[in-house]
Structures are given as C-alpha cells and as structure tokens.
C-alpha cells in the first residue's frame, strides 16, 4: 500500500512489530461503516462517481459478509484492518476500490473506527452494570431487614441491614454507569473522519455528512486534535477502572463473608471452585479474580496514559497500542461484571451468623449514649464516658452483648439508666432507630428499593 517509495521489503521483525491486524481486526464493522460513509460522501460531493460509489458500497457489504462468515483471509503483510479491507476491496471491484482512500488517511480512519468501537463498548458496559444493579436490588429486597455488623476499620461499629449494604454498591455502580456512558455521549460530539493525515484535505469533502452518517453530532473542529488524541479511550479506561475498584471491594467482601471465620454467606456451587488436595474447600476464585482484574484494568489506563503523555502532535505509531489495552480492559470488565452478577444472584446469606456477629463487640453502645442524651439531656461527651464505663463492665463480666448485661450493672455506673434504656440495646432496635435519610433502618431501605425499582422501569 505504500511500497512505491521503497526498493526493499521490510524485515520480518519490522513487519511483526508493526502489524496490528491480530488485534485490530476487531474493528472491522466500524471500519466498513466508516468507509461506506466516506465513499457516499465523496460521491455526493462529486469527488468520485456514483458508479464507483455503488461498486464500493456493494464490495464493502460483500467483505462484511466474508468477515462475518469467517472466510476472509487476514494478512499480516497488510499490517492492519484498514489495509486488509482496502486491498480486498480492490481485489474484488478493481479500479473503484483504489479511489476509496481519496481525501482520508489511516490516521483519521483509525481514530474514527476506534472511537466508534469504544463508544459502543461503553454503552454495552452500561447495560452489564444495569443487570448487576438489578441483581443487587433484588437481593436487597429479600434481605431488607436482615441484620449484619457494619464496620469501620473492619472493627464492628454499628449494626446495619444487609439490604442497606447491598444498596451501597448499587449506588456506587450507578455513578460508575453514568460516568462510563456519559463520557462516551460527550465523545460523540467530535467525529475525527475527514481530518485526513493531520492537516485536513484539499478535496471539497463534507465532514458534517460523514459525522452524521456515523452517529456523531459534529465533525471534530481541529484536525491535529482529531487524529492525535485518545482521551476518549483514556476516559473510558479511567471510568472502567474506577468501577473495577468498586467491583473489587465487593469481591473482597464476598471473600471475607464466605470464609468459615465470617460465615455470613455461602457461594453457590456454580460460583465456587474446589481444591485438588483439600476436599472440604469451597474457594471464591471468581471474586479473587475480580480483584486481580481490577488491577489489570487500572494497568490498562496507566499504560495508555503513559503512551500518550510523551507524544508530540499529531499521530505517532505508539498510538496503535491503544487498542490491545482497551479491548482487554473491556473484555476483563465484562467478565468481572457478569461474574459478580452471577455470584450476587446466588449467594446464600446466613441470617443467624450475621445477626450474632452484629451483636458482638458491643455494637449498640452508641444507642445507649444516644438514650442518655435524649432522655436525660446528658451532654454527648459525658454520655460517651458513661457508656464507655458500661462497656468495660460488660467486658470484665464476660458478657458478649450489651443487651445481656444485668440492669444492676448499668445502674452501678449510672443509677438513672432504666430497663427501658436497656431494652433499646438489641441490634433490632438499633437498626430500626436509624431512620435518618440514607440511614440503615429497614423502612428507609425499603424506600430506596422502591426508588430503584422505579428507576429500572
Ligand atoms: N494501524 C494503525 C493504528 O492502529 C493505523 C494508523 C496507521 N497510520 C500510519 N500513519 N501509519 O494506529
């Protein structure tokens, strides 16, 4: 395709390092759509004839069918998907095929193809996340009032409801979804096609037409920027990476919850693996791999960012590495979301184990301090001090839950404490009392579940 200037063929290793066809053949649909839009515009502008355009359109459709059927022969010598398709087109339709590349370059071509691919992948990622959110809300609905320990520093803090915990992730994934899809809606405002190699072209092309045909809102206003920028891919990778971090935190909790030490939940057989030596094991491999893949997706962002940050404008071949990183990140991301959805749908929670853990560690101590403030008008700092002494007493007496400590022990610390106060220190009463907006009380959780269900509809 560019042999005219050279007397010798490239070295084998030159070809190997240069070729991207193994990776970028995944852009074939976008490449054909881009070429069809470009050829139609060239004909509408009188730059090629209507007959040539008709031949190009039909030829490209046939090539699309060949690729879809798996009969297309991809060639490393032809470097990338753009040259592979163009060469095949000329093979099929002759002279007209050689006119397709008028007024464009592989630089604007690849930027357009890759941007279209990334926008579609991001839209799909939004759908995968929606399915995960629906699974989370369904489980939250089933367990809106199941009690578990809430942690800070992974130390038992206050009792919470399982529904509340699951909805926390639903909320995080909503911000992720909006970021992932939103960045791509923004990317749609600038179509690179027609920027040509870097400087635009002398042909009277109509960039609005190709932009609209490909679903963009407008042509990119600066040709150097259009061919030399990959921030749409960086944004997608950064956004995937943030979401993968959230997936990884949930995965980490699944690893903890399903350990015999926590015993809060059991993974279904379909989402567990066994050990080749220890017959009793049920391992949470999928959750562990989500943690690892989150690191890999973050790595894709860091790598592409490092590639782009040292490039002078406009296009440089370094940018070719963008696709392997981005494809891999989306593939990993899809697996993570699908696996997480499957695990969430089938996790069996253990109500008794979670409740018992929630009651340990004097998790309702704050409720006693709050009672002292509310009923006796004790300043909070003083109430904290009194409650601290009672916790110490319970610990010394070997009583595991505050609700189980005798009233006499409370009154030994502060005689004003009544049976009514003591009765409030169960984990059930504790979660029921936390009715502030966004709080863990089952009634608040149920309101949020209703809101999510409306959102999904
Ligand atoms: N395969 C190349 C890529 O993915 C296409 C653009 C090649 N442009 C060039 N001037 N060699 O970046």
**Is 152 found in the same domain as 193?**
yes
d(CA 230, CA 114): 9
107 touches ligand 1 (CB under 6 Å)? yes
| Distances, alpha carbon 197 to alpha carbons 49, 194, 200, in Å | 23, 9, 7
- For atom 12 of ligand 1, the residue with the nearest CA is 320
The alpha carbon of 310 and the centre of ligand 1 are apart by a number of angstroms equal to: 18
**Is 32 found in the same domain as 19?**
yes
The mean pLDDT of 318-323, rounded to a whole number, is: 98
Whether the per-residue pLDDT at 274 is higher than 90: the answer is no
- For atom 10 of ligand 1, the residue with the nearest CA is 107
Whether the per-residue pLDDT at 148 is higher than 90: the answer is yes
* Structural domain range at position 382: 361-456
Q: What is the DSSP string of 157-223?
A: EEEEEHHHHHHHHHHHHHHHHHHHHHHHHHHTT-B-TT-TTTT--SS---HHHHHHHTT-SSB-S-H
The verdict on residue 9 lying in a domain is no
- For atom 11 of ligand 1, the residue with the nearest CA is 317
Please tell me the pTM assigned to this model: 0.95
The mean pLDDT of 144-173, rounded to a whole number, is: 97
The verdict on residue 377 lying in a domain is yes
- Over residues 377-416, the pLDDT tens digits come to 999 999 999 999 999 999 999 998 999 999 999 999 999 9
- For atom 4 of ligand 1, the residue with the nearest CA is 320
For residue 17, give both structure tokens: 């390092």
Q: Quickly state the pLDDT bin for 113 (edges 50, 70, 90).
A: very high
The mean pLDDT of 239-256, rounded to a whole number, is: 98
User: Cβ–Cβ contacts within 10 Å for residue 103, how many?
Assistant: 21
The verdict on residue 262 lying in a domain is yes
What is the b/e burial string over 320-347, where b = at least 16 CB atoms within 10 angstroms of the residue's CB?
A: bebbbbbbbbbebbeebbebbbbbbbbb
**Is 299 found in the same domain as 372?**
no
**Is 319 found in the same domain as 288?**
yes
193: CATH: 1.20.200.10
The verdict on residue 2 lying in a domain is no
Q: Quickly state the pLDDT bin for 272 (edges 50, 70, 90).
A: very high
**Is 230 found in the same domain as 161?**
yes
The verdict on residue 304 lying in a domain is yes
**Is 62 found in the same domain as 184?**
no
Q: Quickly state the pLDDT bin for 281 (edges 50, 70, 90).
A: confident
87: CATH: 1.10.275.10
Q: How many domains does the chain have?
A: 3
The mean pLDDT of 226-246, rounded to a whole number, is: 98
**Is 399 found in the same domain as 291?**
no
The mean pLDDT of 219-241, rounded to a whole number, is: 98
Q: Which of 356, 379, 408 is the last residue of a domain?
A: 356
Q: Quickly state the pLDDT bin for 290 (edges 50, 70, 90).
A: very high
84 touches ligand 1 (CB under 6 Å)? no
The mean pLDDT of 241-270, rounded to a whole number, is: 97
**Is 265 found in the same domain as 133?**
yes
**Is 171 found in the same domain as 187?**
yes
**Is 161 found in the same domain as 41?**
no
The alpha carbon of 101 and the centre of ligand 1 are apart by a number of angstroms equal to: 14
The mean pLDDT of 111-121, rounded to a whole number, is: 98
- Over residues 41-61, the pLDDT tens digits come to 999 999 999 999 999 999 999
The verdict on residue 324 lying in a domain is yes
The verdict on residue 8 lying in a domain is no
Q: Which of 59, 84, 102 is the last residue of a domain?
A: 102
Q: Quickly state the pLDDT bin for 275 (edges 50, 70, 90).
A: confident
The mean pLDDT of 364-385, rounded to a whole number, is: 96
Whether the CB-CB separation of 329 and 235 falls below 8 Å is answered with no
Mean pLDDT of the chain: 97
Q: What is the pLDDT of residue 278?
A: 85
110 touches ligand 1 (CB under 6 Å)? yes
Q: Quickly state the pLDDT bin for 4 (edges 50, 70, 90).
A: confident
Whether the per-residue pLDDT at 147 is higher than 90: the answer is yes
The secondary element (H helix, E strand) that includes residue 118 is helix 106-142
24 touches ligand 1 (CB under 6 Å)? yes
Whether the per-residue pLDDT at 121 is higher than 90: the answer is yes
CA dihedral 131, 135, 136, 137 (to 10 degrees): 100
451: CATH: 1.10.40.30
Q: Which residues participate in catalysis according to the annotation?
A: 153, 275
Among 18, 21, 320, 321, which is best to mutate for testing ligand 1, by the most ligand atoms less than 8 A from CB? Answer: 320
The verdict on residue 412 lying in a domain is yes
Q: Which of 49, 81, 102 is the last residue of a domain?
A: 102
Q: Mark residue 94 as left, alpha or beta (left: phi above 0; alpha: psi -120 to 50; beta: remaining).
A: left
**Is 120 found in the same domain as 97?**
no
For residue 4, give both structure tokens: 């005219």
**Is 375 found in the same domain as 232?**
no
Q: Which atom of ligand 1 is nearest to the CA of 317?
A: 12
């Amino acid at each position: 395709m560019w042999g005219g200037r050279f007397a010798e063929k490239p070295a084998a290793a030159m070809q190997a390092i240069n070729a991207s066809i193994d990776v970028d053949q995944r852009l074939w649909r976008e490449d054909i759509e881009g070429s069809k839009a470009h050829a139609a515009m060239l004909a509408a502008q009188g730059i090629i004839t209507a007959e040539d355009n008709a031949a190009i359109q039909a030829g490209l459709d046939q090539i699309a069918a060949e690729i879809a059927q798996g009969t297309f022969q991809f060639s490393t010598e032809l470097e990338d998907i753009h040259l592979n398709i163009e060469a095949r087109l000329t093979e099929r339709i002759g002279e007209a095929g050689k006119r397709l590349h008028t007024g464009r370059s592989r630089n604007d071509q690849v930027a357009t193809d890759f941007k279209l691919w990334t926008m579609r992948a991001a839209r799909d990622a939004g759908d995968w996340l929606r399915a995960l959110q629906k699974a989370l809300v369904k489980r939250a609905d089933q367990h809106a009032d199941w009690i578990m320990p809430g942690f800070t520093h992974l130390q038992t803090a206050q009792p919470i409801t399982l529904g509340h915990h699951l909805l926390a992730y639903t909320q995080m994934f909503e911000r992720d979804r909006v970021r992932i899809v939103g960045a791509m809606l923004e990317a749609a405002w600038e179509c690179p096609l027609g920027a040509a190699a870097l400087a635009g072209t002398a042909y009277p092309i109509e960039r609005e037409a190709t932009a609209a045909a490909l679903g963009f809102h407008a042509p990119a206003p600066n040709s150097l920027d259009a061919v030399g920028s990959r921030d749409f891919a960086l944004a997608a990778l950064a956004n995937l990476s943030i979401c993968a971090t959230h997936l990884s935190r949930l995965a980490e909790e699944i690893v903890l919850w399903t350990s015999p030490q926590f015993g809060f939940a059991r993974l279904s057989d379909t989402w567990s693996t066994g050990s080749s030596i220890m017959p009793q094991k049920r391992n949470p491999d999928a959750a562990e791999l989500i943690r690892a893949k989150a690191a890999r997706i973050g790595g894709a962002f860091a790598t592409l960012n490092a590639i782009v940050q040292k490039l002078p404008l406009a296009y440089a071949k370094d940018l070719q590495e963008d696709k392997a990183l981005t494809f891999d990140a989306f593939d990993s991301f899809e697996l993570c979301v699908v696996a997480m959805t499957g695990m969430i749908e089938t996790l069996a929670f253990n109500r008794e184990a979670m409740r018992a853990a929630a009651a340990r560690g004097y998790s309702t101590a704050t409720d006693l301090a709050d009672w002292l403030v509310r009923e006796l008008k004790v300043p909070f700092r003083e109430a904290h001090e009194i409650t601290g002494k009672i916790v110490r007493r319970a610990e010394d007496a070997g009583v595991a839950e505050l609700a189980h400590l005798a009233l006499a022990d409370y009154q030994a610390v502060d005689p004003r404490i009544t049976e009514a106060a003591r009765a409030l220190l169960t984990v059930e009463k504790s979660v029921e009392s936390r009715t502030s907006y966004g709080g863990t009380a089952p009634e608040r959780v149920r309101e949020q579940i209703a809101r999510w269900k409306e959102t999904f509809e």
